[in-house]
Amino acid sequence: QSFINFLYRKFGRVFIVMPYYEGTTLCERTRLDSLKPEEALDIAIQIADGLRAAHKKGIVHCDVTTKNILVLQGRSDSAGCVKIIDFGLAATGGFDELETIGSTGGTIPYMSPEQVRGECLDPRTDIWSLGVILYEMLTGRLPFHYEHREATLYAILNLSQPNVHSLVREIPVQLSQIIEQCLQKEPGDRYQDAETLLTDLRRER
């Protein structure tokens, strides 16, 4: 607060400094082809780790999509460093008080069933979205995506997604099972926190 006051006295205005990241979105990265399981796992682990940190601070992102994942260059491995961006729809506070801002909030193919229904949200909605991202990275397609918005919403609520291993035989069964658990319709059937998901992703790697 004292530093802000100093800036205001010296320059007569308050401003915010934000970091600049040079890289590409995961959406751009996956546009041409699906990723190898090793690369997809590394990216998913970094996303889960970032979500774990946010959830511990009482923040639910509510719009985890490939467009909101930035992949930076400069690391020696193939995946690069991952940043979760655009917390514009994020909800904060006690998780039992968090509510979706309605079906207009978020990106529909990545929205959890409870988000579609306009129910209270908690970290498990971000876990669903990460499951969608992992599914997309490995198969090159979204688990629930149709030409019409209403059809996509119906599928999220009522239909089962094609099994990842059945679509791409090279994907290990255990990894397919992790995705299946992320994409359970009922929040109570999913991973209950990012920490547990992170443990399974690291074990699979």
Helix (H, G, I), strand (E, B) or coil at 149: helix
Question: Count of CB atoms within 10 A of residue 173's CB?
Answer: 10
Most confident of 8-17, 24-33, 56-65: 56-65
Residue 126 clears pLDDT 70, i.e. is over it: yes
Give pLDDT tens digits for 39-67: 999 999 999 999 999 999 999 999 999 99
Give the relative orientation of helices 173-182 and 194-204 as an angle to the nearest 10 degrees.
170
The span from the CA of 48 to the CA of 133, in Å, is 11
Give pLDDT tens digits for 169-205: 999 999 999 999 999 999 999 999 999 999 999 999 8
The span from the CA of 77 to the CA of 94, in Å, is 37
Which of the pair, 164 or 97, is modelled with greater confidence?
164
List strand residue ranges (DSSP E) for 89-161, in order.
91-92
> Across residues 81-93, what is the average pLDDT?
88
With cut-offs at 50, 70 and 90, classify the pLDDT of residue 80. Answer: confident
pLDDT computed for residue 22 by the predictor = 85
Concerning whether 63 is annotated as a catalytic residue, the answer is yes
Residue 101 clears pLDDT 80, i.e. is over it: no
Left if phi > 0, otherwise alpha if psi is -120 to 50, otherwise beta: which for 140? left
Residue showing tokens 């009922």: 186
Output the CA–CA distances (angstroms, integers) from residue 119 to 23, 114, 140, 147, in the order listed.
35, 5, 30, 25
Q: Which of 33, 49, 63, 77 is catalytic?
A: 63
Question: Residue 62, Cα to own-chain centre: how many angstroms?
Answer: 8
